[in-house]
Structure 1
Amino acid sequence: MKVEAVIRDTQWFAEMDNSQPEVSLLLYVRGDGKSELVRAVESVLAQTLKAIQLIVIDDTLDAEVSTWLASAQKRDPRLAVLRRSTVVGIPAVGWIEALKRARAPLYVLAKESDRFHREALEQMLREAQRTPEFVCFGYVDIVEHDESGNARAVKSDKERGKSMVELRVHNFIARNAVLIPHYAIEAIGFLDPHVMLSQAAEWDFWRRLSESFEMKAVDVAVGVCDASTIRADAAEVDLWAVEEWMRTFRNDRLLLELIDDYELDAPDPTHAKVTREVCADLTRTRLGEHRIDGAKEVAGSNDETDGYLLIVNVAYDASTTLYFDLLPPPFNHRVRVVTVGQNLPLEALARATAIIVSRAVRPYEAYLDIARQTRHSDVLLSGR
């Protein structure tokens, strides 16, 4: 199923303000009810930066949400709405639709769970204008709630000083904290709307962006994100399958002039059989069983020799890049790196057919003991 087929029936309710915006904010809405949406929209419209265009992608089919958005459009001429006739449930598809209508040279992604500090966009724009050679990103405050819904802790995201290569291990850049320049999208394409990346499209985009442009962390607190939302998104991700997908080059197919023909649910025949099966399962749950009725299993060229390599290291260093990222495809697609700075994930052991420990074994002994109790005991490789 192509992007064009999914978005062709979306209704467009344009903003009444025709002045040139400096930032277009693309807000995808899928949650239940309108309370989170109201907080998100009001936090954008209250920005000290007035030259903004806010495009809300309404993927809810909720009459109450539609009514409130129509009312909000009457109150603020900078608000535009894209309304779906059927629920798609893939945020990247909505952001692509919104980008087609965006008029500013800079873009920000958001969902209804994101809230912006009042001066965030003005401060981010100032940083981008000061250093136009960089793609700037700020940080968000992460809020924990107790069972009664009361905020019990707020912590600033302090990971923004990390090397960009750490994006190959985990996503430390908040969805709504990046000011995305149009020239970058023209060069590498936009977000990948494939069903495989339904909950990881932003992470994939930051990785692709960092490979072609220099990204710069700036000391701007952009807004607030709920910790439960982050956990919920992470819980839906098969990290081995997602990693194999993200390691596969796709920029040429994600250029704006070609993205309408991009297939949302097509498996990649170069991927391992288990990843293609994950793709089929996600198509059923995300796009509906009828999307793949009659579809044939896509055979891989080496199903009998499929395997995955787990690299355990102190950090994602130059040797990791040299020895594993530079392997020829498809072997470099089937590598996953975990570092000692993380809580080493037990789920990573489930699909690994070999484990390589680099630099030191002692810090990983407990992790390796678990591996030895599984089928990995005869394929374990260790560095010094």
Structure 2
Amino acid sequence: MSDVVEWPAPPDDFGDPSDADLIRLLLVEDDDGDAMLVAEHLEDAGLSVQTARARTLTDAVDRLDVDCVLLDLGLPDAHGMDALRTLLEAGAPAVVVLTGRTDTDSGLQAVAAGAQDYLVKGEVDGALLGRSIRYAVQRRQLQAADRELDRSRIQAEETVRFERALLPRPAIDDTRLEVLVGYRAGRAGVLGGDFYDVVQLADGSVLALVGDVCGHGPDEAALGAVLRTAWRTLVLAETPVDELFPLLERVLISERGRPEIFTTASMIRVAPDRRSVDLYLAGHPVPLLLGEAGAPSTLLPTEQRGRALGIPLTGDWDAAHLDLGDRWRLMMYTDGVLEATIAGRGSQRIGKEGLLTVVDEALAAAPTDLVEVVLREVRALHGGELVDDTAVVVLGWDGAVAQ
């Protein structure tokens, strides 16, 4: 049962909220006889509808919190397409033009301008009016859903482009130094809380960093991007290497959202002659010294292990100096490759021994991109995409080739 009523202002409760099929309808019509005829048609249509009436366009503009508008094009304060355009610009929902005009051009113009349908009063019955209202509301809802989907898609694409822009490109002039990087975000995105960077200094030495912000999600990803950017900025400002971790910790404490957030990191300084490295550890896994000529890969030999950044404990980050000779390859990584579980073995993780096995098998195959092969094999062991962020950096030097 429909009812045409006139309200001085929109009610707080517009219809019965328990009726899921209720259509909230605004009739914009100044003629009482035509309004009564619409009421009869709506009653014949059997729609679940609550109808409000506006006599002027000015009144209608203030009452558009409805599902559908029935609009007469001949109103005291507006005529023709101007009335329709004004309503649409004001944010009207589905609009069905119901008018006495019988010319085809007006109907085409109305639909082209944004109306969902165009009906002639003298040619309408209850079934036609009810069907037009239902279809108009459904089409409008589909259009709104499509717009929201497009908006979400565009936002997702912009997020991906933004995150890709935050992933660094190694700033290396020495083309003889091997530099391979790989990155996978555990979250639904490109960027995670892990980070990496490689920069060559003015004296010819090379600094490499991998780090891991504890936790997962967009906040950790943002913090990781901040720390990576801060590190590169400090490096380019020629900050002494021994001061990088203390300053990075200050940035972390300043930018983190919660006091329990900490970051682990490892940093390597490759000497200008490429024969030795200085290793700095802040609660992070020890890099690998990759095997050559069939020799097994091992952890870099070091006893220097500083605390994680952001943990309120005493302790500095002292460097471990390691002589590597004329030929070597190092792999720095975050714990995403260690903590990945092995498919079919419950909670068993790959761990350091498993990673060493993966790396040696990859080295035996002599791939062109060792990092990608290692990440692929770790994912295969896990049985799918990794749930934790992962960053891997390989540095290599062959003195014989370099000469």
What range is the shorter-chain TM-score in? Answer: under 0.3
* Structure with greater helix share of residues: 1
Larger Cα Rg: Structure 1 or Structure 2? 2
Instruction: Give the TM-score, by structure 1 length.
Output: 0.24
Instruction: Give the TM-score, by structure 2 length.
Output: 0.24
